[in-house]
């Protein structure tokens, strides 16, 4: 390792010396040429003594100024735009220091007054050309091997201008760009690092044939699913592989590099154009506060903890009854799973006394309530469990929060709470109403956030289909026409954080989730992407399921006072005293389940 370091230092010293020699020679050649040019190529008229003295002074000043301004101290990559800018600044300084005296008194010593003025641009061209040739030589030597995949880049914007040079100058790159496509007519003549824009997206097939490309890279920031599907469908006709660049947030957080291309995922194909929730402008309510997250070991809860941690809370308390989930959350957040300290709390929200005791001791300022049971068919079979966790458990957390003086409480709900037809939807609707009641009693910011289906969350559609495909089993879909709303986990968590900033007491916030997507379309896409021979089996709607979910109940309004993509509605307050047998029905039928707190345990009928 020390040998490599010494070699690198030696190479840098040699490079510095070479640059100094080139710049000195460039000034000398430029000044001599300018003097000869001034005498109309009559070399015999040149006063060589004074001219060489000016050359020597200029070269010394160039080296001193270049060293002081870090031109020769490795600040810039050789041949880069930033080095060219620094070089020009040094030349202007040196030109002024030498040129002004020569302009004033040069003729007294036999040096033409215009010598430095004429020489300066010529010297800049010589120095710049030498650096450019060095850069070309370096990039030519570091081009990808002949085994690299011939690649078409879709998109000629900032990402492409960053990605294409990386592909061309990294010897380990697996991709070599051969063409660029962009639908912007203003870019039809654009050339990026030697790679030409050869048409629009509609020209993908003929361009791929002409260039013998095997891969397509989508280099468009925040590309929506419709565009990704279009590219995937076109690429499939020629058996082209489709890659996308990682999200900028992942690169900035160090989880990946911008050049780490990955295959198009089902989330890319069925997701939507991400909604800009502008959380940085409203998350100041978290800074320096004690924040508690229930259900912190779950898919949403763990990502929510990471999101909250970005805003500098004084303390982050992760609560869950699943010790393994807490360990995973701690690893993702802190890089260890020691499960020591006060940041993780093993507790069930059904345990009212333990919750109240915890809140009284830790005194959280903000609570995100993500703990819940969420699988619709399971809760249809075991409605008491939905009651005890989603309703009574939420009431316990609300009571503990009120007693501890929590100022902001965000309850995570579901679109199934809108005109509920299932046990899950009914339980989450009651949780929304209880939260609204707590807001009415305290006047504090107690509110709910309503989600659609969350892509990639534990036990959700995509992981379930992936597991079935891996096992060689058919994909089960309830009905060919059934649709659902979808959103990503980061998008869901950002909405929760923003809710605490723009939501008002008793409100329910709903993200605009675009158009619903047919489940059968997702199943077909996943089968195509996997290459498996699986089939789709239709099982019929299960008890409590809707053919199409809605985001709002029939009596709810849709107001968007702060953000065009976030709707505000209200839930009718329901005090805890009002929750009894009449509030809890199986599948909407008037068959009550006894209130567990009353000492009886109901069962599904």
pLDDT of residue 597: 35
Residue-wise pLDDT for 146-160, tens only, equals 678 899 999 998 888
Q: State the alpha helices, DSSP H only, in 148-286.
A: 158-169, 204-211, 225-237, 248-252, 266-270
Which residue did the predictor score with more confidence, 118 or 225? 118
Tell me: pLDDT of 129 over 50: yes
Residue-wise pLDDT for 61-74, tens only, equals 999 999 999 889 88
Residue among 79, 16, 171, 63 nearest 8 (CA): 16
Compute the C-alpha angle 277/280/282, nearest 5°: 80
pLDDT of residue 601: 32
Residue with tokens 């015999």: 44
Helix (H) or strand (E) holding 507: strand 507-511
Tell me: pLDDT of 332 over 70: yes
* Domain spans in the chain, listed from the N-terminal domain onward: 2-141, 149-264, 287-454+487-513+551-597
Residue-wise pLDDT for 365-407, tens only, equals 999 999 999 999 999 999 999 999 999 999 999 999 999 999 9
User: Which of 326-340, 428-442, 549-563, 565-579 has the least mean pLDDT?
Assistant: 565-579
pLDDT of residue 108: 63
Q: Kindly indicate the confidence band of residue 461, based on its pLDDT and cuts at 50, 70 and 90.
A: confident
Q: Kindly indicate the confidence band of residue 577, based on its pLDDT and cuts at 50, 70 and 90.
A: low
Question: What mean pLDDT, rounded, does the chain reach?
Answer: 85
Which residue did the predictor score with more confidence, 348 or 135? 348
Separation of alpha carbons 367 and 398, rounded Å: 9
Q: Which residues of 152-165 are buried (b: 16+ CB within 10 A; e: fewer)?
A: bbbbbeebbeebbb
The count of other CB atoms within 10 Å of the CB of residue 312 is: 12
User: Which of 120-134, 167-181, 349-363 has the least mean pLDDT?
Assistant: 167-181
Tell me: pLDDT of 434 over 80: yes
Q: Where does 88-236 show beta strands of DSSP type E?
A: 149-154, 175-181, 191-192, 195-196, 215-218
Structure tokens at 209: 């044939």
At what angle are helices 519-530 and 461-470 packed, to 10 degrees? Answer: 40
Residues 347, 355 contacting (CB under 8 angstroms) = yes
Tell me: pLDDT of 573 over 60: yes
- In the chain, what percentage of residues exceed pLDDT 90? 48
User: Which of 36-50, 263-277, 449-463 has the least mean pLDDT?
Assistant: 263-277
Tell me: pLDDT of 251 over 70: no
Separation of alpha carbons 350 and 373, rounded Å: 12
Q: Which residues are within 8 A (CB) of 466 and not within 5 positions of it... i.e. 6 or more apart?
A: 526
Structure tokens at 325: 């989930």
- In the chain, what percentage of residues exceed pLDDT 70? 87
Q: Kindly indicate the confidence band of residue 281, based on its pLDDT and cuts at 50, 70 and 90.
A: low
Which residue did the predictor score with more confidence, 226 or 365? 365
Tell me: pLDDT of 427 over 60: yes
Which residue did the predictor score with more confidence, 550 or 135? 550
Region 409-418 average pLDDT: 95
pLDDT of residue 340: 85
Q: Quick check: do 149-264 and 287-454+487-513+551-597 share a fold?
A: yes
User: Which of 174-188, 255-269, 456-470 has the least mean pLDDT?
Assistant: 255-269
The count of other CB atoms within 10 Å of the CB of residue 220 is: 22
pLDDT of residue 589: 42
pLDDT of residue 23: 93
Which residue did the predictor score with more confidence, 523 or 495? 523
pLDDT of residue 143: 61
Region 304-326 average pLDDT: 95
Structure tokens at 426: 């009914």
Which residue did the predictor score with more confidence, 193 or 368? 368
Which residue did the predictor score with more confidence, 459 or 336? 336
Residues 290, 315 contacting (CB under 8 angstroms) = yes
pLDDT of residue 506: 95
Separation of alpha carbons 143 and 178, rounded Å: 13
Helix (H) or strand (E) holding 62: helix 48-68
- 287-454+487-513+551-597, which class in CATH? alpha beta
Residue-wise pLDDT for 87-111, tens only, equals 999 999 999 999 898 888 766 677 8
How far lies 604's CA from each of 118, 279, 423, 485, in Å?
95, 42, 10, 28
Q: Kindly indicate the confidence band of residue 172, based on its pLDDT and cuts at 50, 70 and 90.
A: confident
Separation of alpha carbons 452 and 347, rounded Å: 27
Region 209-217 average pLDDT: 93
How many helices (H) and strands (E) the chain has is answered by 19, 22
Region 46-55 average pLDDT: 88
pLDDT of residue 145: 58
Residues 349, 366 contacting (CB under 8 angstroms) = no
Q: Which fold has domain 149-264?
A: Rossmann fold (3.40.50)
Separation of alpha carbons 383 and 538, rounded Å: 26
pLDDT of residue 232: 86
Tell me: pLDDT of 258 over 80: no
pLDDT of residue 587: 41
Region 9-26 average pLDDT: 88
């Amino acid at each position: 390792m020390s040998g490599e370091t010494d070699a690198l230092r030696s190479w840098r010293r040699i490079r510095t010396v070479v640059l100094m020699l080139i710049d000195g020679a460039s000034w000398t050649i430029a000044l001599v040429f300018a003097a000869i040019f001034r005498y109309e190529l009559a070399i015999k008229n040149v006063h060589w003594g004074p001219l060489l003295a000016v050359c020597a002074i200029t070269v010394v000043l160039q080296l001193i100024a270049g060293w002081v301004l870090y031109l020769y101290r490795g600040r810039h990559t050789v041949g880069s735009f930033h080095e060219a800018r620094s070089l020009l600044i040094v030349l202007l300084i040196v030109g002024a220091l030498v040129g002004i005296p020569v302009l004033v008194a040069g003729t007294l010593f036999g040096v033409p007054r215009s010598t430095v003025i004429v020489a300066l641009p010529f010297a800049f061209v010589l120095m710049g050309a030498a650096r450019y040739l060095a850069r070309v030589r370096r990039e030519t030597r570091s081009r990808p091997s002949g085994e690299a995949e011939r690649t078409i880049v879709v998109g000629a914007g900032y990402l492409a201008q960053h990605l294409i040079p990386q592909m061309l100058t990294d010897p380990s790159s697996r991709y070599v760009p051969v063409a660029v496509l962009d639908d912007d007519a203003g870019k039809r003549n654009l050339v990026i690092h030697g790679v030409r824009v050869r048409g629009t997206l509609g020209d993908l097939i003929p361009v791929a044939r002409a260039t013998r490309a095997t891969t397509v890279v989508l280099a468009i920031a925040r590309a929506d699913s419709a565009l990704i599907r279009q590219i995937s469908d076109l690429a499939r006709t020629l058996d082209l592989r489709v890659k996308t660049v990682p999200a900028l947030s992942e690169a900035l957080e160090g989880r990946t590099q911008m050049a780490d291309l990955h295959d198009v995922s089902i989330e890319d194909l069925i997701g939507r154009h991400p909604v800009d929730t502008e959380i940085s402008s409203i998350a100041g309510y978290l800074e320096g506060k004690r924040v508690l997250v229930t259900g912190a070991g779950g898919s949403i809860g763990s990502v929510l903890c990471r999101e909250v941690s970005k805003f500098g809370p004084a303390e982050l308390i992760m609560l869950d009854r699943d010790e393994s989930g807490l360990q995973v959350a701690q690893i993702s957040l802190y890089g260890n799973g020691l499960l020591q300290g006060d940041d993780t709390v093993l507790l069930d929200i059904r345990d009212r006394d333990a919750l109240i005791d915890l809140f009284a001791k830790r005194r959280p300022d903000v609570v995100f309530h993500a703990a819940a049971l969420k699988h619709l068919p399971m809760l249809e079979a075991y409605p008491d469990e939905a009651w005890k966790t989603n309703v009574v458990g939420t009431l316990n957390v609300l009571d503990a929060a009120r007693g501890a003086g929590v100022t902001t409480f965000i309850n995570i709900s579901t679109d199934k709470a809108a005109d509920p037809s299932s046990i899950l939807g009914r339980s989450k609707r009651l949780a929304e109403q209880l939260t609204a009641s707590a807001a009415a009693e305290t006047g504090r910011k107690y509110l709910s956030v309503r989600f659609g289906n969350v892509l990639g969350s534990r036990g959700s559609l995509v992981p379930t289909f992936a597991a079935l495909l891996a096992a060689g089993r058919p994909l089960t879909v309830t009905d060919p026409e059934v649709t659902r709303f979808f959103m990503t986990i980061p998008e869901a968590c950002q909405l929760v954080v923003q809710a605490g900033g723009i939501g008002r007491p008793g409100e329910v916030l709903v993200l605009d989730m675009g158009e619903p997507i047919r489940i059968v379309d997702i199943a077909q896409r996943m089968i195509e992407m996997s290459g498996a021979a699986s089939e789709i089996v239709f099982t019929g709607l299960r008890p409590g399921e809707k053919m199409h979910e809605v985001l709002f109940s029939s009596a709810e309004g849709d107001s968007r006072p702060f953000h065009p993509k976030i709707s505000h509605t209200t839930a009718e307050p329901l005090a805890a005293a009002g929750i009894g047998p009449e509030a809890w029905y199986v599948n909407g039928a008037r068959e009550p389940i006894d209130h567990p707190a009353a000492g009886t345990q109901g069962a599904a009928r």
